[in-house]
Structure 1
């Protein structure tokens, strides 16, 4: 890697183990969903989250997606029927591992309570903080780009096992700028951070080969994160730099 002044990091499989997401964060939502809805049902912010899910559900039903169900309003059905539809929607979307905004927003809203109560702590690899400190000392600007919502990203790094890491980051991006497998998303980010004519000065680190290819096509420098539990890398990854620890970047 050479002459990069900006670093953009993925989260899952890059700075935090995939197992933390799959075995801690996701089960926190699915196992506690009913109680959470019962406890927070009258909160205005929850109503906003349910409305986002309702709009998405309507689109999914129109698109004839299997398992999609409409989420009625409280004027159309009982509170319990609305809750049941929300639960059914979240469960099937999470089972399908959908990267849609409404789901990610709801997950982040629910995780917030878990992080603030101390039940959840974002797990961060030991080699990450020394790299963040090194990049910061060198004057590099650091961002996060993850399919998880921006609020969820801030919770993970703000309530991490290594303490509050938010001061290291200058900004956060989620799929509202575009899907991570699309080249245009990386162009959008570059434009937002005033690097649209200097994309070769950006280093992007992720575990996903499709994201690596998309970022490369946008002119970024790239590094593949090969962590324990990540999906096996295919032969197409060999043309890129692969690291098992951030001290190898």
Structure 2
């Protein structure tokens, strides 16, 4: 019996185009000025320290900024980059530059599951900060009360089974009572290797009954039995 559901964001609850066409360009444009203005703030100092640790040397702010931009252009899932993006997006959300995109079927089903007593969690390569902002400033209002906790790459990579074992440990349930939702097969493979149940979101496609994981075109098509 499923007692908890962990959901991915991009391509699962939310449109890939929102992240790629709205959030990423906004962050890329704003990061240089943001670092100049906020370099002395503790949370920014921390991500700059992490950049130096990855580089293996102490970089000046100009080179640190260049590194963030290079990682963005390479679509790298680097933790300090994800943290910085979350900070920049926080300003954007608060200023009303955009609202977090959530598919209507996802918003409705998440609320239904919550009312049914299921515990809901988020696991995304975007930082926990970015996750909370997307759902907190969503087109459906503040959806953060639906979720019990959030996980990002600080717990491990999304294609590593150890990450899902760690998540199951944090949730405190046997892994086979947890369902993981994603649009990426390799992530689902890793979750299944950790003994989680899985569902593959294939939005805009047809369901393949012979696929390696149960498939659904939207949240309404997910069957928990």
Q: Same fold (TM over 0.5)?
A: yes
* Unaligned 5+ runs, structure 2: none
What is the TM-score normalised by the length of structure 2? Answer: 0.91
| Residue 236 of structure 1, CA deviation | 11
Residue range with higher mean Cα deviation, 125-134 or 31-40? 31-40
What is the TM-score normalised by the length of structure 1? Answer: 0.83
* Unaligned 5+ runs, structure 1: 59-69, 73-81
Cα distance change of structure 1 residues 32 and 132 upon mapping to structure 2, 3 Å threshold? same
CA distance in 1, matches of 2:88, 2:55: 19
Contact 1:71 1:85 in 2 (8 A): no
Cα distance change of structure 1 residues 227 and 217 upon mapping to structure 2, 3 Å threshold? same
Contact 1:56 1:102 in 2 (8 A): no
**1:36-70 CA-partner distances (Å, limit 9, x unpaired):** 22332343332222222222222xxxxxxxxxxx5
**1:123-177 CA-partner distances (Å, limit 9, x unpaired):** 1101011101110121100000111111111111111111100000000011111
CA distance in 2, matches of 1:57, 1:107: 19
> Which residue in 2 is equivalent to 1:226?
202
Question: Radius of gyration: which is bigger?
Answer: 1
Cα distance change of structure 1 residues 110 and 236 upon mapping to structure 2, 3 Å threshold? farther
CA distance in 2, matches of 1:90, 1:30: 9
Cα distance change of structure 1 residues 149 and 134 upon mapping to structure 2, 3 Å threshold? same
Cα distance change of structure 1 residues 148 and 236 upon mapping to structure 2, 3 Å threshold? farther
Question: Which residues of 2 match residues 234-249 of structure 1 at below 5 A?
Answer: 238-249=211-222
CA distance in 2, matches of 1:242, 1:236: 7
Count of matched residue pairs: 221
Contact 1:144 1:173 in 2 (8 A): yes
CA distance in 2, matches of 1:103, 1:49: 8
